[in-house]
Chains A and B, each alone.
Chain A
Amino acid sequence: MRAFWAVVKRDIKLATRIGGDAMTVLLFYVMVGAIMPFAIGPDKVLLAKLGPAIIWISALLSLLLALDRLFRTDHEDGSLIAMSQAPLPLEMIVTAKILAHWLTNALPLIAATPLLAILLNLDAGQTLLVIFTLLIGTPALVCFGAIGAAVTVTIKRGGLIAPILILPLSIPTLIFGVSALSTGAIETAASSALLFLAGFTLLALVFTPFATALALKMGAE
């Protein structure tokens, strides 16, 4: 486990130091959410209605922005080859990197969500619910993103291709994430959507390390 936590710690350090991406992603998230009211207009009711979906889309786009760097810098500077020689299986290294990526990129977004919620006129209950669904759903988004990032790591301009690969995979998470926020007559549907969202995340957590490690190994050849 010492090796696993060493990878997590190193990636957190790299992301939070000067030149890291964590702050950029957070600013992008807030800005995407903040420009929506300008596009939609000052209709408070409409904003509150669209708010949760806007927050989810902002989170998805922000996470896509950072994903390219998940493996690319390690691939380019030779760290990935060196890491693949560790006794720790590549699948575990990938898991550690995904965990660190979620902690440094997704968690700050979730923490900044109340700010966006105010801009989008969401009430406290809705805000808490959005935060809850993001907590459950974003690990899946990061996982799918990791697969896309690993597949495109050897392509020079893969940064542009990865989002195209990842977006279709993210659709179920987006659908269930936003459906889980429905209230009123369809509350039962909302709770089943929440369960589906959790199920998707668990599924992603199980399969992603293997798929990503396989993609990285094939990329190394």
Chain B
Amino acid sequence: MVEKTFIKVRELAVSRGGFVIFEGISFDAMPGEVILLRGPNGAGKSTCLAALYGALAPTHGLIDIHLSDENRSTRELIHVIGHVPGVKTTLTVRENLQFWADLYGSAANVENAIDAAGLHPIADSDASILSAGQTRRLALARLLVAERPIWILDEPTSALDKQGDAWVGNLIARHSQKGGIIIAATHLDIPNVPAEKIKTVLINGAPA
């Protein structure tokens, strides 16, 4: 499904109100690769991700998302998990995920996603009782029901404990093994992914 999908970014720059947020970002993301965006707070990692998924027009540069399947649009290939979780607190965990599965038209099994996120014991509870970490797990479980080859993740491990970090690491590793592309703004080191599959992109050249 994803063999021929790749992303090419060249000299990407975004300015807002005459202020250059970042510039000169170039990288290639091939199937199975994990691109880690690193940089200090305010360096423009989230802005860079927003430009990549098309929510923001870059001031300069090129983003070429090459699609493996011409019948699918870019938005059918990319899934984004941002800072805000997109979780409805008055719906149950299962209802939240079922909605996303229906909306994305995927055949993914909602129960498997709930199990994978470790939310099975509270699947029928309102999402309002979830802790911040559990809410983040529920948000990330959306990746499993959306079944998109390209993942764009903004601080996916925020609010998660060490176990949660490991879970996200494994989630990314498994997606990479299946040939998916992951672009993430995170300080997490991804285990179980060969080093040659991981590329680190420094935003504004400032190391984390």
Contact = CB atoms under 8 A, between A and B. Distances in A.
Interface of A: 2-3, 5-7, 9-10, 13-14, 17-20, 76-79, 81-88, 220-221
Main secondary structure of the interface of A (DSSP, over half): helix
B84 A10 contact: no
B105 A77 contact: no
A85 B75 CA distance: 5
18 contacts: A3-B104, A5-B102, A9-B99, A10-B99, A13-B91, A17-B90, A76-B84, A77-B88, A78-B83, A78-B85, A79-B88, A82-B142, A85-B78, A85-B79, A86-B105, A87-B104, A220-B55, A221-B56
Contacts of B86: 77-79, 81-82
Contacts of B104: 3, 85-87
Contacts of A14: 88, 90-91
Contacts, number: 75
Interface string B94-115: 0100011011110000000000
A10 B87 CA distance: 12
B169 interface: no
7 closest A-B pairs by beta carbon, nearest first, are A78-B84, A6-B102, A78-B86, A82-B86, A79-B86, A86-B103, A17-B90
A6 B99 contact: yes
Contact of A77 (B55, B56, B57, B87): B87
A3, A78, A221: most-surrounded residue (chain B CB, <10 A): A78
A62 B86 CA distance: 28
B184 interface: no
- Identify which of B76, B91, B103 gathers the most chain A CB atoms within 10 Å of its CB: B103
Given A10-B91, A77-B87, A221-B56, A82 B105 contact: no
Contacts of A82: 80, 86, 100, 142
B147 to A, nearest CB: 12
Contacts of B76: 87
A216 to B, nearest CB: 11
A47 B14 CA distance: 61
A99 to B, nearest CB: 15
A88 B75 CA distance: 10
Contacts of A83: 103
A45 to B, nearest CB: 47
B118 interface: no
A2 B104 CA distance: 9
Given A2-B105, A78-B83, A83-B103, 6 more contacts: A2-B102, A6-B102, A78-B82, A86-B75, A86-B105, A87-B76
